[in-house]
Amino acid sequence: MVSNSFYKDLEFSEDKVKVSVILETSFTKEIRIAFKKGQIMKEHKTAFPIIVHLLEGEIEFGVEGQKHHLSKGDILTLEGNVPHDLLANEESIVRLSLSKLDTPDRVKQVAKDSK
C-alpha cells in the first residue's frame, strides 16, 4: 500500500504553477498542481488520456478554444492529443491523473514554460 495527501506539504509559488508528484502506482501517476490566482498553464497536450479533478478553487479549463468553468469538486476526462490550457480564477489545487506511460517531467516543463 502507498498513501499520501494532496494537502501535505502544500506549497504555492508566486512565480509559476507548482507541480508535485503525490504518488505513483502500477497504472497511474497522481500529480498535484497548485495555482495562485491568475496563474496559467499555457496550451499543451499529451499523447495519453488524463483525468483532471479540481480539489480547491476555480479554474477556466480551455479545450480547443472553448472555456469550461470548473469549481471545487468538478472532475473531467480528456482524451490524448487534445490541446488544453488552464487559468486559475482563484487559488486552486488540481489533481491530475496521468497514464503510467506519461511523465511528470512533461507537466513540470509545461508549468515552467507558462507565465
Give the rounded percent of residues in the chain with a pLDDT score beyond 90: 85
Cα 39 to Cα 95: distance, rounded to the nearest angstrom: 16
Distance of CA 60 to the CA centre of its chain: 12
Assign 84 a pLDDT band (cuts: 50, 70, 90).
Answer: very high
Neighbours of 26 (CB within 10 A): 5
The pLDDT tens digits of the residues spanning 32-63 come to 999 999 999 999 999 999 999 999 999 999 99
Average pLDDT over residues 1-27: 93
* pLDDT over threshold 80, residue 115: no
The single residue listed with the C-alpha cell 496550451 is 43
Which cell numbers hold the place of 86?
A: 488552464
Please tell me the predicted confidence (pLDDT) of residue 64: 87
Please tell me the predicted confidence (pLDDT) of residue 65: 86
